[in-house]
Amino acid sequence: MPVPTLTIGATKLVMDRGDITTQSTDAIVNAANTGLRGGAGVDGAIHHAGGPTIMEECRKLGRCPTGKAVVTKAGRLQAKWVIHAVGPIYAGLTSDNTELASAYRESLMRAVEVQARSVAFPCISTGAYGFPVKQAAPIAIGTVSKFVEDNPDKFDLIRFVIFTDADYAAYFGEFTRRGAVRG
């Protein structure tokens, strides 16, 4: 099935249905909590699939503030790196949007630091943290697009890995609004 694709310079942004833990990109992003202690949803799935070495590295790092990101190796995952990004718990404040954008931007900064040419993102903060996906999708795609425009030649592929129907619909709508083609 063709996937919606946006091309920015040499970088392809794609969205696809799937499981973040099975991605073969250089790095995957984890929707982490500030304590880097694992949890439910994406966070729990990544720690479970990647094994205990991810948690061992997270314990050494300690904490990660909202809107920031840290990186560990990926344990048993296909990816080389896990970028743990902490999105906001949605409260309806302007700062929620700023912190969500920062989590995406910081993730890409960590990817550049470890020379990851391909990155897979989940939908950050739209699950247990309650961020409305229709509000989150333009922030996520817009922030990533702007970072790629400002940092050409850093990435070959950035994939948004969508798990739920609601998230897929919102991201598909935003990709289409931005002129995505099915590739």
What the block records as the tokens of 90 is: 């949605």
Contact predicate 51/76, CB 8 Å: yes
Alpha carbon distances (Å) from 165 to 168, 169, 174:
5, 6, 14
Provide, rounded to the nearest whole percent, the portion of the chain with pLDDT above 90: 90
How far is it, in rounded angstroms, from Cα 103 to Cα 54? 19
Q: Show the tokens assigned to 32.
A: 């982490």
Domain ranges of the chain: 4-182
Assign 24 to helix, strand or coil.
Answer: coil
Average pLDDT value for residue range 157-174:
94
Closest CA to 107 of 75, 76, 77, 151: 151
* Interval 1-46: pLDDT, tens: 568 999 999 999 999 999 999 999 999 999 999 999 988 889 999 9
Q: What is the topology classification, in CATH, of domain 4-182?
A: Leucine Aminopeptidase, subunit E; domain 1 (3.40.220)
Distance CA 103, CA 44 (A): 18
pLDDT of residue 117: 98
Q: Is the dihedral of CA 61, 64, 68, 72 positive or negative?
A: positive
Q: Are 86 and 47 in contact (CB under 8 A)?
A: no
DSSP state of 142: H
pLDDT at 179: 87
Q: Model's pTM, two decimal places?
A: 0.96
pLDDT at 1: 56
Q: Report the distance separating Cα 70 and Cα 61, nearest Å.
A: 8
Q: What's the pLDDT tens digit per position in 72-110?
A: 999 999 999 999 999 999 999 999 999 999 999 999 999
